Amino acid sequence: MAIGSARSAQAPGFTLVEVLVTLAVLALGLGLVTLSLGHDRSAQLRQESDRLRSALEHAAAVAQWRRLDLAFEVIDGGYRFLRPNADGGWDVETDELLGPHALPPATRIDARGAAGASIAPQLRFRASGRNDPFTLIVESDGGRWRVAADPLNRVAAELDAPEAAAAIPSATAVR
């Protein structure tokens, strides 16, 4: 009888193991929901900036390999690369990395020349490899990235500092 009275004297509640298992299940569910929602805006902007950096480096190399100038231009909703055609005009590049690319909504690209002044969002990659330095500002709600190239065709993408972002006027809108 002493055993039965000892059980009835215990307070009702959950054991530590039950609480820990419940917390683990909740954490796992929260992790799956986070993964299903996708990347946050800053990670998406970093990925877009890195993709643009890679495409610009590739375009400079392809222009030299083919011994043909290539052009980069920002278009409504994204960007594309162009190659010269026989008629003296430009055709859209069909290379996998250099084909037209759509940007996420509310992402803008602004082009800057060597002196930091705003320039038309069109760049030329010369067959000679002697290209003008430039900076592209890729901006969205997720932040601001600076993609810059030097005359040796080295392209770097880096997160733009808040104080530097305040000194540059708003970017050209691209949806």
- Which CATH number fits the domain that encloses residue 91? 3.55.40.10
In a domain? residue 94? yes
- Report pTM: 0.69
Cβ-based neighbour number of residue 126 at 10 Å: 15
DSSP label at 171?
Answer: P
- The residue among 128, 127, 123 whose CA lies nearest residue 147 is 123
| Average pLDDT for the chain | 83
pLDDT, one tens digit per residue, over 55-86 is: 999 999 999 999 999 999 999 889 999 999 99
In a domain? residue 175? no
Q: Do 77 and 98 share a domain, yes or no?
A: yes
Owning domain of residue 14: 2-37
Which 3-state string (H, E, C) describes 76-110? Answer: CCEEEEEEECCCCCEEECCCCCCCCEECCCCCEEE
The count of domains in the chain is 2
Q: Do 149 and 127 share a domain, yes or no?
A: yes
Tokens 């970093």, residue? 46
Identify which has the larger pLDDT, 168 or 117: 117
Q: Do 30 and 49 share a domain, yes or no?
A: no
3-state secondary structure of 58: helix
What pLDDT is stored for residue 168 in this prediction?
A: 46
What's the CA gap between 160 and 31, in Å, rounded? 30
In a domain? residue 105? yes
pLDDT, one tens digit per residue, over 97-122 is: 899 999 998 899 988 877 777 777 78
What's the CA gap between 5 and 26, in Å, rounded? 36
Enter the tokens of residue 96.
């996998």
